Amino acid sequence: MAKLTSLKAEKRQLDRRAADHIRSHILDGIFPANSRLLETQLSDELEVSRGTVRSALAQLAGEGLVKQVAFTRWEVSGSSSTDGWEIYTLRGVLEGLGARLAAANVTAEDAERLRTICAEMLRAISEGRFQDATDIDFDLHAAIIELARHRRLAEQHRMILHQVRFHMVQSGFLPKDYDELISDHKQLIEAVIAGDADRAEKLARSHNEGEVRLLTASLQQGHPSDRIDVENV
């Protein structure tokens, strides 16, 4: 297991910061899917008490990144085709709602902002900085959700994006056609900017449909990606 940096600077609550650290390790693939997490080990490495680690793990369990087996173990969530299918179908309707509401609220500055982010993404791709491009992709979707001015939706969306990222890392997913990716996003934000709620929702939902179809197919073949059982030594 990789070394975690201690957390005693800052002023936020320790358990939140512990959760942030563990979460980023999960999202970076340092703690792989299905790997076991030991409270004592985490508390040693983060230099906080076990209770604090427990609280952090409970948060992450609520976010769907970690599973608890009572009296027995904590482990990083799985990343099977079923999980992927669940994640992308949920993402579809959440972003659909977000796009619909965003279209109803959008202002001129918002429009500018969205176009800027999209341009940044385009530049990142054209310069071959694909990791940056992916980050900006997430930022763009989060920015649209923000326009919806819907706290609960934003919270759900934040969590589902974490899960999307996790699933991408675990499954080694990479976009295959960056031109199409850009075109998708351009269409989406233009629909939002134009205030066309129906079209914005439809585009947001169809944005994930490629993955959903892929994963559905993978499920029907009985793809055995549930069997992964990495141990975390």
Partner DNA sequence: CAATCACCGATTGTCAACAATTACGGTTGC
Partner DNA sequence: GCAACCGTAATTGTTGACAATCGGTGATTG
The dihedral formed by the CA atoms of 148, 152, 155 and 157, expressed in degrees to the nearest 10: -60
Please give the structure tokens belonging to residue 73. Answer: 């173990």
How many Cα atoms occupy the beta-carbon half-sphere of 175 within 13 Å? 17
| Among positions 150, 167, 185, 207, the unique one binding a second copy when judged by CB under 8 A | 150
Which stretch, 34-42, 84-92, 128-136, 176-184, contacts a second copy (CB under 8 A)?
A: 84-92
Residue 72 contact partner, candidates DNA, a second copy, none, CB within 5 to 8 A by sort of partner: DNA
Residue 119 contact partner, candidates DNA, a second copy, none, CB within 5 to 8 A by sort of partner: none
# of chain residues touching DNA (CB under 7 A) = 23
Task: Give the separation between CA 59 and CA 73, rounded to whole angstroms.
Answer: 15
Q: Which residues contact 128 (CB under 8 A, 6 or more apart)?
A: none
Binding flag, residue 11, DNA (CB under 7 A): yes
The residue among 15 and 211 lying less far from DNA, judged by its C-beta, is: 15
Which stretch, 42-50, 109-117, 176-184, 216-224, contacts DNA (CB under 7 A)?
A: 42-50
The dihedral formed by the CA atoms of 58, 151, 135 and 3, expressed in degrees to the nearest 10: -20
Residue 14 contact partner, candidates DNA, a second copy, none, CB within 5 to 8 A by sort of partner: DNA
Which stretch, 2-10, 83-91, 174-182, 187-195, contacts a second copy (CB under 8 A)?
A: 83-91
Binding flag, residue 18, a second copy (CB under 8 A): no
198, 103 Cβ separation under 8 angstroms: no
Pairing state between β 36-37 and 73-76:
antiparallel
Chain centroid to CA 115:
22
Task: Give the separation between CA 154 and CA 67, rounded to whole angstroms.
Answer: 23
Which residues are paired to 104 by β-bridges?
A: none
Binding flag, residue 78, a second copy (CB under 8 A): no
- What's the min distance (Å) between Cβ of 163 and DNA? 22
Residue 86 contact partner, candidates a second copy, DNA, none, CB within 5 to 8 A by sort of partner: a second copy
145, 98 Cβ separation under 8 angstroms: yes
- What's the min distance (Å) between Cβ of 142 and DNA? 26
Q: Which residues bind DNA (CB under 7 A)?
A: 11, 13-15, 36-40, 48-52, 54-55, 68-74
